[in-house]
Amino acid sequence: MSSPLPPPPPPEWVVAMNSTLPRPTKAASSIPDPPGFSSGRGGKQRQQQQPIAKKAEDTDALKMKKAWEIAIAPSKQLPMNAIMMYMSGNSLQIFSIMMVFMLFKGPIQGLISTNEAFARYETPSTRGRLVAVKLVYILMQLLLLALGIWKVNAMGLLPTTRSDWLAWESERQPLERAFFALKG
């Protein structure tokens, strides 16, 4: 309570993981791998990491590639969403309302978190090139939003027709009034 205890020594496996793998001895490397074990992946990783770590330009290119993938990703949803919206009908039901809600929620969240989405790929060197990527990303999200607005309009929720403003129009008042004394 009075003073914090010294942190306990890290467990053995933590030490083992943090320390680099000891180079296998000659004898050990001569031992064939058990059947089914492939050391290729680990080896590849090692091989890839080494050049990335070495070459910053390659890293940037890769990051840009990844960023582009993220930017284009919403457009892949577009056909699926369009079909879903088309199929769900224009009636006001809880299911279609929820789908429309999700359709709006996704792009809006995406737009808000544009910078976060690309934060991982943002380095001083990629920043300039990333602007275009972000613009494409925003465009894609806007396309999705447009799909949502199209759907909402199709459902008749947008005040675009004359009837939507009918309540604000008033009856024409007559300047003269007639009274009636009619027989029969």
Q: Which residues bind other proteins (CB under 8 A)?
A: 92, 155-159, 161-164, 166-167, 169-184
In the complex, what is the shortest distance from the CB of residue 3 to other proteins, in angstroms, rounded to a whole number? 23
Give whole-number Cα distances, 38 to 16, 49, 63, 88, 173, in Å: 22, 18, 28, 49, 90
In angstroms, rounded to a whole number, what is the distance separating the alpha carbons of residues 163 and 160? Answer: 8
- 104 near 145, Cβ under 8 Å? yes
Q: Given the complex with other proteins, which of 106 and 156 has the nearer CB atom? A: 156
Using the structure block, give the residue that is written with the tokens 């006001």: 92
In the complex, what is the shortest distance from the CB of residue 63 to other proteins, in angstroms, rounded to a whole number? 44
- Which of 148, 113, 149 lies closest to 134 in space, CA to CA? 113
In the complex, what is the shortest distance from the CB of residue 97 to other proteins, in angstroms, rounded to a whole number? 12
In the complex, what is the shortest distance from the CB of residue 125 to other proteins, in angstroms, rounded to a whole number? 49
Q: Given the complex with other proteins, which of 27 and 181 has the nearer CB atom? A: 181
Q: Given the complex with other proteins, which of 13 and 179 has the nearer CB atom? A: 179
In angstroms, rounded to a whole number, what is the distance separating the alpha carbons of residues 156 and 163? Answer: 11
Q: Given the complex with other proteins, which of 57 and 169 has the nearer CB atom? A: 169
